[in-house]
Amino acid sequence: MERKRVEFSVPLECDGMNTNVFLRKHCNVSARMITRLKREKNGIIRDNQILRTIDTVHFGDRVILNMPVDKNEIIAVQGKLDILFEDENIIIIDKPYNMPVHPTKIHQTDTLANYLVYMQKQNNECYTFRAINRLDKDTSGIVVIAKDRYTASNLFGTLNKTYFAVCEGLIFGSGTIDKPIKLLEGHTIQRTTAEDGANAVTHYKALEHSKNHTLLEINLETGRTHQIRCHFSSINHPLAGDDMYGGSLNFINRQALHCGSVNFIHPISKRKITVNSNLPNDIQNILHTDK
């Protein structure tokens, strides 16, 4: 079985600590994950020796978790990927528009996941595809992928993301849209604002204006499907190119939405990681041409 190695160094403040306590309290490894690793051959080791959870760890020890990799059913397909950051645990990719993140019934071989699995094989790597954030096919920008189960479980819900969008009409200053969202009746994808929907809060700031468009910086307090697109449509400022929510295709042929910045604390190194992605030309051109 393929395995993914995750390594921790024991700091001075954990010298003499019980292994189970070290993994649970200091490393934030779940009890379920520890139980599974105890059942695996060489699941938890130190100095190439099995480390029992009742043993004591000491300052400077390298505690290694050999985590089993789930079987990967994604088809490997050669394709171009723009890598913004990569280490043993995380890879961050700048996704172009018109590229789905995961395979679907109608997109089996042209997704970010397909291309990443191919790259793994070329680099003699093996890890399950775990995207921490998801973008619509036609939303461009940063996608964070964990290379192991531990990193994924400790990254979910911790990403601070900033989006950039161009909406129709002029918005000035900053503000908040606080409107619940639910699935539009009779549809499988499109959302609408409704009192009986799920709580959804969007914060925005106007950055630049053209004649009839506004460039916005957006931060989400919640992460509902189509939240940004649905919210700005609800205040009569749909995103340019977003014809599902009332936007015009005159200046761009996809929703003018881009995930432009992500920061988080690395689950293992504890360093703050900040990654940025430039606003694509097709979004910038809206402001340049709408004079």
- Residues labelled catalytic: 136
* Cα distance between residue 146 and residue 130, in whole Å: 5
* Cα distance between residue 200 and residue 227, in whole Å: 7
**Paired residues of 6 in beta bridges:** 65
- Let me know if 204 is exposed, middle or buried by CB neighbors in 10 A (0-12, 13-18, 19+): buried
**Structural tokens at position 19:** 């292994």
Mean pLDDT to the nearest integer, 7-25: 94
Closest by CA to 133, choosing from 98, 160, 103, 164, is 160
Closest by CA to 198, choosing from 236, 170, 226, 232, is 226
Using an 8 Å Cβ cutoff, are 155 and 89 in contact?
no
Mean pLDDT to the nearest integer, 205-232: 96
> What confidence tens digit (pLDDT) does each residue in 109-142 have?
999 999 999 999 999 888 889 999 989 999 999 9
Backbone angles phi, psi at 65, to 5 degrees: -105, 120
Mean pLDDT to the nearest integer, 95-113: 93
- What is the share, in percent, of the chain residues with pLDDT greater than 90? 86
Mean pLDDT to the nearest integer, 238-257: 97
Closest by CA to 146, choosing from 26, 264, 24, 25, is 264
Expressed in angstroms, the distance from the first to the final Cα of the chain is 60
**Structural tokens at position 24:** 């649970």
3-state class percentages of the chain: helix first, strand second, coil last, to nearest 5: 20, 30, 50
Binned at pLDDT 50, 70 and 90, residue 1 comes out as low
**pLDDT at residue number 5:** 87
pTM, 2 dp? 0.90
Average pLDDT of the chain to the nearest whole number: 94
